[in-house]
């Protein structure tokens, strides 16, 4: 079974609009962490935001917020006021188990911001 599922292969959004990128996960471990990374065409992986399974509040980092719905096992990324520079691949990833270092990545969503 897929550990991380990103069901949107591509998203097209108008500049300045908000966008939600979907991510669902599958784990039976009570301790886990969820990450979002941005990968522009240059290839580097840029860390955006992190949510721990025991965190009570949704994580936020500037224009990025994570809509964490534990019962639904979803961790959607919300980008507010999108910019042209947000066009990139976005990957959701999970570490499973307390102290685990290994990450499992979803298939990614290609986000295109239109002017």
Partner 1 sequence: GAVVSQHPSRVICKSGTSVKIECRSLDFQATTMFWYRQFPKQSLMLMATSNEGSKATYEQGVEKDKFLINHASLTLSTLTVTSAHPEDSSFYICSASPLAGGPGEQYFGPGTRLTVT
Does 38 bind partner 1 (CB under 8 A)? Our answer is: no
- CA-to-CA dists, residue 24 to 29, 55, 81, angstroms: 15, 17, 23
40 to 79, contacts with partner 1 by CB under 8 A?
A: 42-45, 47, 50
Question: Which position among 19, 23, 25, 35 is part of the footprint of partner 1 (CB under 8 A)?
Answer: 35
Nearer to partner 1, 13 or 100 (CB): 100
CA distances from 58 to 24, 36, 43, 47, 106 (A): 15, 13, 28, 17, 20
Distance set, CA 12 to CA 26, 36, 58, 77 (Å):
27, 19, 25, 15
- 66: tokens are 């994570």
Pick the binder of partner 1 from 21, 95, 111, 113 (CB under 8 A): 95
Which C-beta is closer to partner 1: that of 85 or that of 99? 99
Instruction: Summarize as ranges the residues that interact with partner 1 (CB under 8 A).
Output: 33, 35, 37, 42-45, 47, 50, 91, 95, 98-108
């Amino acid at each position: 079974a897929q550990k991380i599922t990103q069901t949107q292969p591509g998203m097209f959004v108008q500049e300045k609009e908000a966008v939600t990128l979907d991510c669902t996960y599958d784990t039976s471990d009570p301790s886990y962490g969820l990450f979002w990374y941005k990968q522009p065409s240059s290839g580097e992986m840029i860390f955006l935001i992190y949510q721990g399974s025991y965190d009570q509040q949704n994580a936020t980092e500037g224009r990025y917020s994570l809509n964490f719905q534990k019962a639904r096992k979803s961790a959607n990324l919300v980008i507010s006021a999108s910019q042209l520079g947000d066009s990139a691949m976005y990957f959701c990833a999970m570490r499973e188990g307390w102290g685990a270092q290994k990450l499992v990545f979803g298939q990614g969503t290609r986000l295109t911001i239109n002017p």
